[in-house]
Amino acid sequence: MSTLEKTHIQLGYIPLLDCISILWAKHCGYFDELGLDVTLVKEASWASLRDRLAFGLLDAAHCLSGILPAASIGTDHIGIPFQTPLVLSVNRAYISLSQKLCFELGITHNDTAKEVAAKVMTAIQHGQNIQLAHVFANSIHHFCIREWLALADAELTQSIKLRILPPPYMVEALNNQVIDGFCVGEPWNTQGEVLGLSQIVASSQDVIPEIADKVLAVTKEWATAHPNTLKAITQAIQKAQREIKTMQNFSQIWALLTEYEVLQFECSDRIHVQEFYKIQNIIRNLIDDTAIPKVEDFEWLIQQMEKWSNVQVNHAELKNLSQQCIIQL
């Protein structure tokens, strides 16, 4: 094997289901097998993770896909480009509303995503103060909630102010009546339902294309300086991804999700059974068979930034800007 440029690695993550391949690679010793001493670092928010990755406090990270093109086009105000060799999840977010709001607006489980959006937008048009949140300005979650609301009223959607909260705080904020709904990755939507606080009203798959959600990210400078190390990190996570995709017994996965505070509610084949198998299904299908980043995904993300965040983009440079987000190992 080629010599590793660095062996002691700080690898950041946010507690979500799609960090599981990183947790599993660490648990099973796949990093160790390739000569890597990996320390997993739980981050409080996507903003802190991005900044710590940009300035070298993290070597690599479980990262929102939208952070990469935002850096590529210079809208993150940091100016440090990121790259990815590996997709960790594809379009696995959900939109949840408080059960109280669902009752007030007559939202039922039989309503389509468009029908729910129409009820919410009608209430907003009539002056009701409905506070919705997502996880980060440059994320599929932001664009998903905008596109969802736009199913009912695209013009009004442009002017709606949305809050930004870290994923682990969404359910708490809903419980404290700071917000009325959110778009976030799992398991936080399911936790809200299990606690009787919220109701899932739409899947991102109902609203937006199959776009990469989380990726393994490093800075471009770090990737250039540590090609063999990055390849080893990627290979270890890929090995974990392949195992998880065909896994039958999830007991160890469940233990890991609990240990790393990704799951904070009881869920098994005896209690909250539907949620137990739903989460297993999500984990098995976080990625397709290749997990190779696609230029088209980053093109779509940049176009969404232009549409919803008033970002100015040179369309002649769109493909090149998107390509800069990907590193081929």
Whether residues 106 and 130 share a domain: the answer is yes
Domain final position from 147, 177, 206: 206
pLDDT of 71 strictly over 70: yes
The band of 66, judged by pLDDT with boundaries at 50, 70 and 90, is very high
d(CA 217, CA 270): 38
Do residues 84 and 173 touch, judged by C-beta distance below 8 A?
no
pLDDT of 289 strictly over 80: no
3-state secondary structure 203-227: EHHHCCCCCEEEEEEEEHHHHHHCH
Do residues 214 and 16 touch, judged by C-beta distance below 8 A?
yes
Which pLDDT value is given to residue 27?
98
Whether residues 150 and 286 share a domain: the answer is no
Q: Which helix (H) or strand (E) holds 49?
A: helix 46-54
Question: Does 328 reside within a domain?
Answer: no
Question: Does 3 reside within a domain?
Answer: no
Whether residues 157 and 197 share a domain: the answer is yes
Whether residues 198 and 275 share a domain: the answer is no
Closest CA to 123 of 153, 148, 93: 153
Measuring CA to CA, how many Å separate 219 from each of 2, 55, 168, 235?
Answer: 21, 9, 25, 18
Mean pLDDT of 215-234: 98
Question: Does 312 reside within a domain?
Answer: yes
CATH of the domain at 106: 3.40.190.10
What percentage of the chain exceeds 70 in pLDDT?
100
Whether residues 106 and 53 share a domain: the answer is no
Burial (0-12, 13-18, 19+ Cβ within 10 Å), 147: buried
Domain final position from 206, 234, 259: 206
Question: Does 48 reside within a domain?
Answer: yes
Which pLDDT value is given to residue 1?
54
Whether residues 218 and 248 share a domain: the answer is yes
Q: Which helix (H) or strand (E) holds 268?
A: none
Which structural domain range is residue 244 located in? 8-91+212-323
Whether residues 233 and 301 share a domain: the answer is yes
Number of structural domains the chain divides into? 2
Whether residues 272 and 221 share a domain: the answer is yes
Whether residues 82 and 109 share a domain: the answer is no
Domain final position from 180, 206, 232: 206
Any residues with CB less than 8 A from the CB of 314 and at least 6 apart, and which? none
> Considering the chain, what is the average pLDDT of its residues?
95
d(CA 293, CA 328): 9
Question: Does 111 reside within a domain?
Answer: yes
Question: Does 87 reside within a domain?
Answer: yes
Whether residues 97 and 87 share a domain: the answer is no
Q: Is 101 helix (H, G, I), strand (E, B) or coil?
A: helix
For 305, half-sphere exposure in the C-beta direction (CA atoms, 13 angstrom radius) is: 29
Q: What is the pLDDT of residues 93-125, one digit of tens each?
A: 999 999 999 999 999 999 999 999 999 999 999
Question: Does 310 reside within a domain?
Answer: yes
Which pLDDT value is given to residue 239?
97
pLDDT of 2 strictly over 60: yes
The band of 268, judged by pLDDT with boundaries at 50, 70 and 90, is confident
Q: Which helix (H) or strand (E) holds 167?
A: none
d(CA 75, CA 85): 22
Q: Is 241 helix (H, G, I), strand (E, B) or coil?
A: helix
Per the DSSP assignment, residues forming a β-bridge with 62 are 216
Whether residues 70 and 99 share a domain: the answer is no
Measuring CA to CA, how many Å separate 138 from each of 16, 37, 45, 60?
Answer: 17, 31, 13, 19
Q: What is the pLDDT of residues 144-175, one digit of tens each?
A: 999 999 999 999 999 999 999 999 999 999 99
Q: What is the pLDDT of residues 5-21, one digit of tens each?
A: 999 999 999 999 999 99
Q: What is the pLDDT of residues 202-214, one digit of tens each?
A: 999 999 999 999 9
Whether residues 56 and 131 share a domain: the answer is no
Per the DSSP assignment, residues forming a β-bridge with 96 are 182, 200
Question: Does 329 reside within a domain?
Answer: no
For 137, half-sphere exposure in the C-beta direction (CA atoms, 13 angstrom radius) is: 16
pLDDT of 314 strictly over 60: yes
